[in-house]
Amino acid sequence: MLYLVGLGLSDETDITIKGLDIVKRASRVYLEAYTSILLVDKEILEKYYGREVIIADREMVESASDDILHDAQNIDVAFLVVGDPFGATTHTDLILRARSLSIPTTSIPNASILSAIGATGLQLYNFGQTVSMVFFTETWKPASFYDRVRENRNIGLHTLILLDIKVKEQSLENMSRGRKVYEPPRYMTVGQCCVQMLEVEGMKGEGGEGLGGVYGEESLAVGAARVGGRTEKFVSGTLKQLCESDEVLGGPLHSLVLLGRRTHELEHDYVREFAVDTEVWDRIWKRDYEGQT
Amino acid sequence: MLYLVGLGLSDETDITIKGLDIVKRASRVYLEAYTSILLVDKEILEKYYGREVIIADREMVESASDDILHDAQNIDVAFLVVGDPFGATTHTDLILRARSLSIPTTSIPNASILSAIGATGLQLYNFGQTVSMVFFTETWKPASFYDRVRENRNIGLHTLILLDIKVKEQSLENMSRGRKVYEPPRYMTVGQCCVQMLEVEGMKGEGGEGLGGVYGEESLAVGAARVGGRTEKFVSGTLKQLCESDEVLGGPLHSLVLLGRRTHELEHDYVREFAVDTEVWDRIWKRDYEGQT
């Protein structure tokens, strides 16, 4: 049996009782370590589980999945995924490969950022499609997120924006020379995301909201850090304000929610507690959000 | 401290290690028992936790929340919620009330149907807003879901439809006579949901998809039962076919996903495994979904 076990969002104690039981008795245990990360190291997990954990990087999962699945017709293999097992496409792919090898599969759900983001106080019913933001470079600024945010905002919905992480990446130079030397991990911050969003709006839109754009410097948003963890932190404000929020938010992982206009009074009451500047928040809320449908 | 502890979706072993630790040491433990249910009884939870669990029905949470919060400035109170603590609006409300009483709060995330539905193989990035379907009566057929499904389908997105549950409801007669006699619990099935959806399409649309309607008898969907549980079951087919799927799906809880046209090949490969009739599925997929953007 192949078990896909969700680990939740924060530390070693976020695994479920059912999940931990499987980890303890599986023949091999892999940890998927490139679409998301826990806030604790592999060593802490190993100590907690009382056993070895094999790190499965992108290369292994995408090109050596048969190693992971080896003999799983006869033995139990646990594949651990931060958050919920179905958060990333890769895992669907792994299950399809298991199916084609007649290996039965079971998944153990856990918290995902897609639902845990409800801790901002924003109603999950008011969210549209989720988008991702990648690190821009000088020459590569993919803006497909922009059209999807537009679709959400056209119908008044919030957008959860998941932020890029770069783990075990090679520099172009090392890659071209075939050197397996990896850069330090990088995690996009809410500040970087807001800067990139405003940059794209500047290129694609016509000067922001109300002028043909999708959003603007005064659009309201909530920055989230370490959701579900003991040091969880939220900051709400305008996109412009959140460009400067990294220090308040602290370490990774970060996510961002851009508000839609279709809001509920309870959302307002809840989210304004996190405002960088309550006066600004209230003024813009009243002007652009309150009572909109 | 008020702890909102997510219980996950299925049985007593879906709680996290962190959550169980809190339940074991809290002074009082409440179980929210009207927006969703676990597949096991309160007695099993009490035995597993080794302590008493107080059932919090809608009446208690909405009008006697101060009892729940009593003395939580000084002691720990655990409020258990099936799924994730932020799945229902009510809990946001409870936290706001705690805040106003200067009671600190912490939430322990867990699996929610909103992310666990990824087990259908449908990509969570391709979902729009989530809607709810309530039990229709002869005279009350609320159709607000219809416009939201339209919004999702206009931009090619899947829609998760959460199905009504009726727990501790009074008949009109008992209510009017003030008798606290309650009806047996009812859980909407995928079949009932599909029948109601087609009924509304018949009233509001103009004969289904392609003719001014939002969806039709041949729209593809996936019925899900007991997601995340050991007896989890999926059935895919047309809305017409799924009207008859209750026997195959088995007991509660059920949910439904109506597919959007913006699909990924991996989704196709995964979901067709669950098809009532693979020939029908493939024909409609090819005609209406494949390669659409």
Q: Tens digit of pLDDT for each residue in B142-191?
A: 999 999 999 999 999 999 999 999 887 788 888 888 888 888 889 999 99
Cis-peptide into A253, omega within 30 deg: yes
pLDDT band at residue B219 under the 50/70/90 scheme: very high
Mean pLDDT of A97-121: 95
pLDDT band at residue A99 under the 50/70/90 scheme: very high
CB contact under 8 A, A124 and B114: yes
A152: closest chain B residue by CA: B128
Mean pLDDT of A59-78: 92
pLDDT of residue B233: 97
Angle of CA points B242, B263, A200, to nearest 5°: 140
Mean pLDDT of A49-62: 89
Number of CB atoms found within 10 A of residue A34's CB: 22
User: CB–CB of B259/B152 below 8 Å?
Assistant: no
User: CB–CB of A111/A82 below 8 Å?
Assistant: no
- The Cα A56–Cα A124 span in angstroms is 32
pLDDT tens readout for residues B64-102:
889 999 999 999 999 999 999 987 777 888 999 999 999
Maximum mean pLDDT: which of A176-180, A194-198, A207-211:
A194-198
pLDDT of B212 higher than 80: no
Residues 6+ apart with CB under 8 A from A148: A128, A129, A131, A159
Number of CB atoms found within 10 A of residue B247's CB: 8
A125 contacts in chain B (CB < 8 Å) = 129-132
To the question of whether residue B5 is assigned a binding role by annotation, the answer is no
Span of A163-172, A196-205, B47-56 with lowest mean pLDDT: A163-172
pLDDT tens readout for residues A129-180:
999 999 999 999 999 999 999 999 999 999 999 999 998 778 888 888 888 8
Helix (H) / strand (E) element for B133: namely strand B131-133
B270 contacts in chain A (CB < 8 Å) = 92, 95-96
- The Cα A139–Cα B124 span in angstroms is 29
Residue A30: name the closest of A98, A102, A132, A129 by CA: A98
Chain B: nearest CA to A270, how far in angstroms?
Answer: 7
Backbone dihedral region for residue A112 (phi beyond 0: left; psi -120 to 50: alpha; all else: beta): beta
The conformation of residue B184, written as its DSSP 8-state character, comes to: P
B131 contacts in chain A (CB < 8 Å) = 125
DSSP-H helix ranges across B82-236? 89-100, 113-116, 144-154, 172-176, 190-204
Residue B230: name the closest of B45, B11, B38, B82 by CA: B11
Instruction: Please name the residue that has the structure tokens 């009233």.
Output: B203
Chain mean position to CA A145: 14
Nearest to A114 among B17, B115, B267 (CB): B115
pLDDT of residue A206: 64
To the question of whether residue B242 is assigned a binding role by annotation, the answer is no
Chain mean position to CA B149: 16
CB contact under 8 A, B115 and A112: yes
Nearest to B124 among A86, A118, A124 (CB): A86
End-to-end CA, chain A: 48
Output Rg (C-alpha) for chain A, integer angstroms: 21
List domains and CATH numbers for chain A: 2-111 (3.40.1010.10), 114-289 (3.30.950.10)
Residue A212: name the closest of A221, A203, A220 by CA: A203
Q: Which of A155, A160, A293 to mutate to test the interface with B (most CBs of B within 10 A)?
A: A155
CB contact under 8 A, A266 and B115: no
CB contact under 8 A, A112 and B111: yes
User: CB–CB of B226/B11 below 8 Å?
Assistant: no
pLDDT of residue A141: 94
The pair of structure tokens assigned to A280 is 């600004």
The conformation of residue B2, written as its DSSP 8-state character, comes to: E
ipTM above 0.95, yes or no: no
Q: Which of B129, B154, B257, B261 to mutate to test the interface with A (most CBs of A within 10 A)?
A: B129
Span of A72-86, A162-176, B15-29 with lowest mean pLDDT: A162-176
To the question of whether residue A113 is assigned a binding role by annotation, the answer is yes
pLDDT of A211 higher than 70: no
pLDDT of residue B137: 93
pLDDT of A60 higher than 80: yes
Burial B215-237 (b: 16+ CB within 10 A, else e): bbbbbbbbbbbbbbbeebbbbbb
A-B CB pairs within 8 A amount to: 168
pLDDT of residue B201: 94
To the question of whether residue A84 is assigned a binding role by annotation, the answer is yes
Residues 6+ apart with CB under 8 A from A147: none
pLDDT of A48 higher than 70: yes
* C-alpha distances in Å from residue B260, one per residue of A187, A244, B220, B267: 32, 38, 9, 11
- The Cα A100–Cα B183 span in angstroms is 47
The conformation of residue A252, written as its DSSP 8-state character, comes to: S
